[in-house]
């Protein structure tokens, strides 16, 4: 799923992407414009927190599908400024869904593994009861619920541990630290699925194509700890001599609590699309080859 993906025959579908300048939004616009008429929208076009402006822009764009990538993603910052997180992730998401509903458009919303508390001993399914630990997760869960209240045909895609070429991410942070000689101390008791936004975007395209609704998990296949992810990054980039030490979450305190285990089951995604996501290791290799 590289940049060489051919342009598909356009079917006239108009897709509005909010948060189009973000990491996922940037990739989605590049991917979807090969097949659909894409309308990118970021803060310069309208603010999702403003219901009137959101209604007006969506009505003028006349989309068939609205993909909401606009989000407050500062997990630690949300702890000290919960109002900001809820304004975007809950109220803003609800505004986008309501505006889409008014013009008869399908709404696709991006959510997170952080709606779970991480105490499961198996991958979380879409029907597991959410129990977020921090403000960020609570704000995203509130957004999911507001969307479900106002939209009759919403698709909520839960994902995790995103990285991509448009914006700061864990990979670039690790490589920057490695370039300075280290040593690195990385948490080894939080387990999830690193996910390349290109693969997430392709999964979302497939879900839209089959008319999926409800909640669907979408990540790369497999799981690892942040330490294991960092070790793979260093190994693949020739930094095997850089010292890297596994630490516990308690040894590396952050303002926001993180789930210890937030792997998401991909069974529903595979059932709906008929496609198995590639492994996080293969996706990482492609990302590194394109840096």
Q: Rounded to whole angstroms, what are the CA distances from 273 to 104, 158, 208, 268?
A: 24, 16, 10, 9
Marked catalytic residue, from 124, 136, 163, 287? 136
Structure tokens at 191: 């387990």
How far apart CA 106 and CA 67 sit, in angstroms, is 8
Residue 18 CA to residue 206 CA, distance in Å, equals: 19
Alpha helices in the chain (DSSP H): 23-32, 51-61, 75-80, 82-86, 93-102, 135-150, 170-179, 197-209, 226-236, 267-273, 280-289
The angle formed by the CA atoms of residues 237, 243 and 247, to the nearest 5 degrees, is 110
Distance of CA 182 to the CA centre of its chain: 29
In the annotation, is 136 catalytic?
yes
Query: Which positions are annotated as active-site residues?
Result: 136
């Amino acid at each position: 799923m590289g940049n060489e993906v051919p342009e598909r025959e356009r079917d006239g579908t108009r897709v509005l992407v909010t948060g189009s300048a973000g990491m996922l939004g940037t990739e989605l616009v590049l991917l979807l414009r090969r097949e659909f008429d894409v309308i990118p929208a970021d803060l310069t076009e309208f603010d999702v927190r403003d219901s009137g402006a959101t209604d007006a822009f969506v009505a003028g764009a006349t989309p068939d599908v609205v993909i909401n990538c606009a989000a407050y993603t500062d997990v630690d910052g949300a702890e000290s400024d919960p109002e900001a997180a809820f304004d975007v992730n809950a109220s803003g998401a609800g505004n986008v869904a309501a505006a889409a509903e008014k013009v008869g458009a399908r709404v696709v919303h991006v959510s997170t593994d952080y709606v779970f508390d991480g105490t499961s001993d198996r991958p979380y399914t879409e029907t597991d009861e959410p129990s977020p630990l921090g403000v960020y997760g609570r704000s995203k869960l509130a957004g999911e619920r507001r969307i479900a209240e106002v939209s009759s045909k919403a698709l909520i895609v839960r994902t995790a541990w995103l990285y991509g070429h448009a914006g700061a991410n864990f990979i670039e942070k690790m490589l920057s630290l490695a370039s300075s000689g280290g040593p690195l101390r990385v948490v080894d008791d939080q387990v999830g699925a690193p996910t390349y936004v290109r693969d997430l975007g392709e999964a979302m395209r497939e879900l839209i194509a089959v008319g999926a609704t409800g909640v669907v998990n979408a990540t790369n296949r497999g799981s690892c700890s942040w330490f294991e992810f960092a070790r793979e990054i260093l190994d693949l980039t020739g930094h095997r001599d850089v010292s890297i030490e596994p630490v516990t979450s308690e040894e590396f305190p952050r303002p926001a609590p993180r789930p210890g285990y937030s792997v998401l089951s991909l069974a529903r995604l595979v059932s709906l699309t008929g496609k198995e996501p590639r492994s996080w290791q293969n996706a990482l290799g492609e990302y590194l080859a394109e840096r």
